[in-house]
Amino acid sequence: AEAHMFTTFKVARDHDLAAQIGRDLFFDLVDYEKIHPIRVLKDMPFNQVK
């Protein structure tokens, strides 16, 4: 019933990159299936999400 009020997104952090790729190489390929989703209200500004 309240699903329309929320949105879910995933952000790859340094920790995720290091765990999936390694500490010496960084590039933009990461498996987002392994990233923990973040659920926020749809009307929340993106700069307030931490």
- Distance, in Å, from the CA atom of 43 to the CA atom of 40, rounded to the nearest integer, reads 8
At residue 33, the pLDDT reads: 82
pLDDT digits (tens, 9 = 90+) for 7-39: 888 888 788 877 777 666 656 677 778 888 888
Give the predicted TM-score (pTM) of the model. 0.45
Domain boundaries defined on the chain: 3-45
- Asked if residue 46 has pLDDT above 80, the reply is no
For 17, counting Cβ atoms within 10 Å of its Cβ (0-12 exposed, 13-18 middle, 19+ buried), the class is: middle
- Distance, in Å, from the CA atom of 7 to the CA atom of 28, rounded to the nearest integer, reads 23
At residue 29, the pLDDT reads: 72
**CB atoms near residue 16 (< 10 Å):** 17
Output 46 or 26, whichever has higher pLDDT.
46
At residue 23, the pLDDT reads: 64
The HSE-up count of residue 9 (CA atoms within 13 Å, CB side) is 11
Enter the DSSP assignment of 21. T
